[in-house]
Structure 1
Amino acid sequence: MLIVAYIGFGNSVTHYHLPYVEEKKDTIKVKYIYRREEDRIGDTERETWYPNYIFTSNINEVMEDPEVNLVVINTPDAFHVDYSILALCKGKNVLCEKPFALTKTDAQKVFHLAEKNNLVAMANQNRRFDADFLTLKKVIDSGVLGELVELESHYDYFKPAIKENKKFGFLYGLAVHPLDQIISLFGTPNKVTLDCRSIDNPGLADDYYDMDLFYAQGFKATVKTSCYVKIDYPRFILHGKKGSFTMPSLGHNSNKTYKPGPILLEDTVYSESLWGNLSYVSEDGTDVHLKVPIETTNYGAIYDNLLEAIENKQPKIVKNEEVLAVLDIIEQGTIIAKEAVK
């Protein structure tokens, strides 16, 4: 059984972890949520929503508890590595939010420490289990498109002139997800070309990227985000030698409204207008046009795998080399974004 302590209590924990963990009470128990004292000032009402958890500002209480065997780190990015190392040194397995680290070198240090201590350290790349991505994967796995030629992954906004936050950046905050999705499907690319810059904050932030990942047999995957897309644009566009597939955008999680209280899992019903569009030539030469129903988001799959990895030594679903490949690309992109103003 996983006995879990969360470090941090932001939206990631309340929206993308606890609703799925609460569904797995036979295999997972949440014991602690650690919050810094300054973070609790004026924000303790939310703690009452979870009466079965221990809320604490004493990190030693968490780390010295022998019952805790998994620490989930949901702090600001700069603290991911420090808390990961602390937990591993205390004999705890680690699940760390994206980005796993800010540099490839630091990520390697964490992985080496976990291996040395015979523990599991894994990145929480939960977007592999988004409904739209799972629908794309279903189409790819079906093989009806034949040899793949090109895939575009878009996560776009219309937010002109973002200037209020000089540390604003998409590479570490957003690109880490679609890059991981591509690498989880196709592995580390043979070559990468990067256009990373800021439209509104030159030299201060990266609010635009267009990254091409090249693979064998001429296949290319493009990962792109812009703040200047006013029309609805497909989330995924996939072309193969036998046909094409488009996946509409299902909207941004940040646009959703939530009522006070713990977030509960609910079945999301998508209108057919949001289903995927598949068109291909069948084996007998017939043109086939289909609407593809949307799969179900399942962030709990990360925990299912962790349980197997920790208790039965099964392979991690998010491999070390995949995390390192993503960070390598993001580091290169950050350098290019800074150089774009020179």
Structure 2
Amino acid sequence: MLTIAFIGFGNSVVNYHLPYIERRNNIQVKSIFRREEDRIGDTDRENWYPSIQFTTYLEEVLQDSEIDLIVVSTHVDSHAHYAKLALEAGKHVLVEKPFASLVEEAEEIFAIAKEKNLIAMSNQNRRYDGDFLTLKKIIESGVLGNIIELQSHYNYFRPDSITPGFGLLHGLAVHTIDQIISLFGEPESTHYDVRSIYYPGESDDYIDIDFRYGMLKATVKCSLSVKIDHPKFIIHGDKGSFVKYSSGHQNKNPHGPTVVSFDQEAESNWGMLFYEDEKGKEYRESVPSEVTDYAILYEELYKAIHDDSEKPVKDEEVITVMRILENGIAAAKKEQQIKL
């Protein structure tokens, strides 16, 4: 059994952790720590989870001998602080993304974990999005041949929500950047087109980053000014192409625990595969979608903790993603004013 405690009780815990963990018989959530000031006017939600112990005393969690893993799900400014406290208390730690505010903080956390023979890992749960798992299945099948280009899009149409501040890279693009790194590793070179269109030099509201791996170019695009329904993934190889629209996510429930569906999505949203065989015969096929399940990460983490297997998100991958985020922010700050 893997026994877990959370530090923090925000949107991520309620919507992207608890609904998936509850289906696993070998994983249980024992307690959740919340600061007293965070509970003001927000205690009703605690009643949604009668089997979980809520506490405002951090030491109750840190000193609980039954807790194997502490999940840090707070504002990024406190990630390093709580992660180090958990490790010093002898607990494995899973930290929400971005893993830390600075690369140096992340390296310190990993060093402490190694010294204490514990696991510290970033919660890159979007590796288990159904649309990404479907893409990965196609790549691994080899049907596309040598991959030449991959486009990854994460877009909305929310221009009125854009405010000064650097949040799009850390809030949205971090997911798709990590997906690219998980597929191909550290890029040979990276080109940044990160703009502050609405607040020049003060935001990162347009993201277009190219990663080069030999002849392969992988592109992450992220914007809050895309009105059309754009494919999530477009990939081209020397034998064919694949297109997949977003599988979306569960509907949040403001009146009770979030309930997620593990049913396969409708055939109308399956990916489309176009390829030809060795004789030049062309094929067009719809590809059944994989199912989103963020608890897969916990299952793999369970194996790493109890069976000494390799953890699913490697330290060097976390550092690579963090450096890309830092360089992207630097690019946005240098961007000259662009008039719409």
- TM-score norm. by structure 2 comes to 0.96
- Cα distance in structure 2, aligned partners of 1:272 and 1:23: 25
* Structure 1 counterpart of 2:106: 107
* Structure 1 counterpart of 2:300: 305
- Cα distance in structure 2, aligned partners of 1:199 and 1:166: 11
- Cα distance in structure 2, aligned partners of 1:309 and 1:250: 29
Instruction: Letter of the 2:231 partner, please give it.
Output: P
Match of 1:112, SS state, is helix
Post-superposition offset of 1:104? 1.6
| 2:105 is equivalent to residue 92 of structure 1 | no
Instruction: Letter of the 1:108 partner, please give it.
Output: E
Post-superposition offset of 1:269? 4.3
Match of 2:210, SS state, is strand
* Structure 2 counterpart of 1:83: 82
In structure 2, the gaps of 5 or more residues are none
Give matches, 1:57-68, under 5 Å.
57-68=56-67
Q: Is the 8 A contact 2:262 2:292 kept in 1?
A: no
- Cα distance in structure 2, aligned partners of 1:97 and 1:258: 22
Paired residues in the alignment total: 337
Match of 1:110, SS state, is helix
Instruction: Letter of the 2:241 partner, please give it.
Output: S
Q: Is the 8 A contact 1:210 1:222 kept in 2?
A: yes
Post-superposition offset of 1:162? 3.4
Match of 1:194, SS state, is strand
* Structure 2 counterpart of 1:10: 10
Post-superposition offset of 1:271? 2.4
Distance 1:252 1:68, change over 3 A: closer
In structure 1, the gaps of 5 or more residues are none
Q: Is the 8 A contact 2:247 2:269 kept in 1?
A: yes
Post-superposition offset of 1:42? 1.1
Match of 1:184 among 182, 185, 199: 182
* Structure 1 counterpart of 2:213: 215
Match of 1:224, SS state, is strand
Post-superposition offset of 1:51? 0.8
| 2:250 is equivalent to residue 248 of structure 1 | no
Match of 2:159, SS state, is coil
Match of 2:194, SS state, is strand
Q: Is the 8 A contact 1:6 1:72 kept in 2?
A: yes
| 2:239 is equivalent to residue 226 of structure 1 | no
Instruction: Letter of the 1:222 partner, please give it.
Output: T
Instruction: Letter of the 2:220 partner, please give it.
Output: V
Give matches, 1:142-153, under 5 Å.
142-153=141-152
Match of 1:290 among 267, 285, 300: 285
- Cα distance in structure 2, aligned partners of 1:335 and 1:161: 24
Give matches, 1:133-148, under 5 Å.
133-148=132-147
- Cα distance in structure 2, aligned partners of 1:160 and 1:122: 34
* Structure 2 counterpart of 1:275: 270
Instruction: Letter of the 1:328 partner, please give it.
Output: R
Q: Is the 8 A contact 2:15 2:252 kept in 1?
A: no
- Cα distance in structure 2, aligned partners of 1:161 and 1:52: 40
Instruction: Letter of the 1:127 partner, please give it.
Output: R
Shift >6 Å, 4+ stretches: none
Post-superposition offset of 1:78? 0.9
* Structure 1 counterpart of 2:236: 239
Q: Is the 8 A contact 2:252 2:258 kept in 1?
A: no
* Structure 1 counterpart of 2:325: 330
Q: Is the 8 A contact 1:8 1:75 kept in 2?
A: yes
Post-superposition offset of 1:53? 0.9
Provide the aligned C-alpha RMSD in A.
Answer: 1.4
Post-superposition offset of 1:161? 4.1
- Cα distance in structure 2, aligned partners of 1:170 and 1:318: 22
- Cα distance in structure 1, aligned partners of 2:102 and 2:146: 34
* Structure 1 counterpart of 2:24: 24
Q: Is the 8 A contact 1:232 1:249 kept in 2?
A: no
- TM-score norm. by structure 1 comes to 0.95
CA displacement 1:304-338 (0-9 Å, x = unmatched) = 11111111211111011111111111111111111
Worse-matched range after superposition: 270-279 or 323-332: 270-279
Q: Is the 8 A contact 1:2 1:70 kept in 2?
A: yes
Q: Is the 8 A contact 1:4 1:72 kept in 2?
A: yes
- Cα distance in structure 2, aligned partners of 1:214 and 1:63: 43
* Structure 1 counterpart of 2:42: 43
Q: Is the 8 A contact 1:129 1:301 kept in 2?
A: yes
- Cα distance in structure 2, aligned partners of 1:69 and 1:189: 35
Match of 1:225, SS state, is strand
Q: Is the 8 A contact 1:161 1:200 kept in 2?
A: no
